[in-house]
Amino acid sequence: MGIYAYLSFNGNCRQAYEFYAEIFAAEKGDLSTYGEAPPSEGYETPEETKDLILHGEMTIHGTKVMFSDTFPGSPFAIGNNVTLALVLSDADAVKEAFQKLQEGGEVLMDLQETFWSKCYGSLVDKFGVTWGLNCLSE
């Protein structure tokens, strides 16, 4: 666990994933779509998003890099499509880092339990760096 680069794409994540995997002879990891996510009560995944990449990862020369397509309608700007993902196994450490990073910044998603993490939140810190903070059990 540690800090990883998280790259976002505007509907072409699968192509970028395959491109980088080939260029770097990378070790491919999980690749899942929005359509494979567990259903949420009162929400159905739109048909046009079901084949988009919700999360992918690969190891490039020993470093984990994560990938996803932005959800249609979400802001996307080339050059601002890199997030630092802090992944820890200690929920208290995630909460403490989130609290400190949000000072003077903007919370994008409050810390909460998700289907992939017992504690996840995202924010832009006061220096304009976007962070995704995850607490994952090993």
| Confidence at 45, pLDDT banded by 50, 70, 90 | confident
Report the pLDDT value the prediction gives residue 22, as an integer from 0 to 100: 94
Class of domain 2-135: alpha beta
pTM score of the predicted model = 0.74
DSSP string, the chain: -EEEEEEEESS-HHHHHHHHHHHHT-EEEEEEEGGGSPPBTTB---GGGTTSEEEEEEEETTEEEEEEEPPTTS---TTS-EEEEEEES-HHHHHHHHHHHHTTSEEEEEEE--SS-SEEEEEE-TTS-EEEEEE---
Span 77-135, pLDDT tens digits:
887 788 898 888 999 999 999 999 999 999 999 999 988 889 999 999 987 889 999 99
Residue 31 has what pLDDT? 93
Q: State what percent of residues in the chain have pLDDT above 90.
A: 58
